[in-house]
Amino acid sequence: MFLFTILAIIIGLVVYVICGKEKEVYTSVSELSWFKLVIKVVYKLVKYRKQGVLQLDKSLVYVAGTGNADCTLEISARNHTITVQGIRVDEENVAKYKFLCGYNANDGDIPLCYAESLFMKPLIALISSTKFSLSPIGLIHIRQNIKQFIPLQEYIKAQLTLEVSVKQYRQYDRGVEVDINLRAMASNTCVWEGMMTLLSRGQRSTPKSRPPGGNNGTYEFEDDLDVPGNCGVDYAKLTGDWNPHHLYTWSAWLLGYKKPIAHGMWTLSRTIAELQRRYEMTLDGQYELSCAFKRPLFMPGKAVMKYDDPMLADNSVCKILVEERDTSIPHLTASLRKLY
Under 8 Å CB-to-CB from 29, ≥6 apart: which residues?
A: 84, 86, 87, 121, 122
Report the C-alpha gap between 181 and 166 in whole angstroms. 6
Taking every pair of C-alpha atoms in the chain, what is the biggest distance, in angstroms?
A: 73
The pTM assigned to this predicted structure is: 0.88
Q: How confident is the model at residue 5 (pLDDT cuts 50, 70, 90)?
A: low
Q: What is the mean pLDDT of the chain?
A: 84
Name the percent of the chain in helix, strand, coil, to the closest 5: 30, 30, 40
State what percent of residues in the chain have pLDDT above 90: 42
Neighbours of 314 (CB within 10 A): 10
Q: Give the residue among 148, 146, 123 at the shortest CA–CA distance from 136.
A: 123
pLDDT digits (tens, 9 = 90+) for 86-135: 999 999 999 999 999 999 887 878 999 999 999 999 999 999 988 899 99
Instruction: Dump pLDDT digits (tens) for 210-243.
Output: 444 444 567 888 888 989 989 999 999 999 888 8
The predicted pLDDT at position 20 comes to 59
End-to-end CA distance of the chain: 68
| Per-residue pLDDT at 258 exceeds 50 | yes
pLDDT, position 279: 81
Domains, the chain, ordered by start: 20-206 (3.10.129.10), 209-340 (3.10.129.10)
CB atoms within 10 A of CB 312: 11
Q: How far apart are CA 208 and CA 214, in angstroms?
A: 15
| pLDDT score at 210 | 43
**What local confidence, expressed as pLDDT, does residue 66 receive?**
65
Q: pLDDT of 306-324, one tens digit each? A: 988 766 544 578 899 999 8
Distance of CA 191 to the CA centre of its chain: 18
Per the document, the length of the chain is 340
Q: How far apart are CA 249 and CA 148, in angstroms?
A: 35
What is the H or E stretch that residue 317 is in?
strand 317-324
Rounded-to-integer distance, Cα 309 and Cα 319, Å? 9
Answer yes or no: are the C-beta atoms of 199 and 177 closer than 8 Å. yes
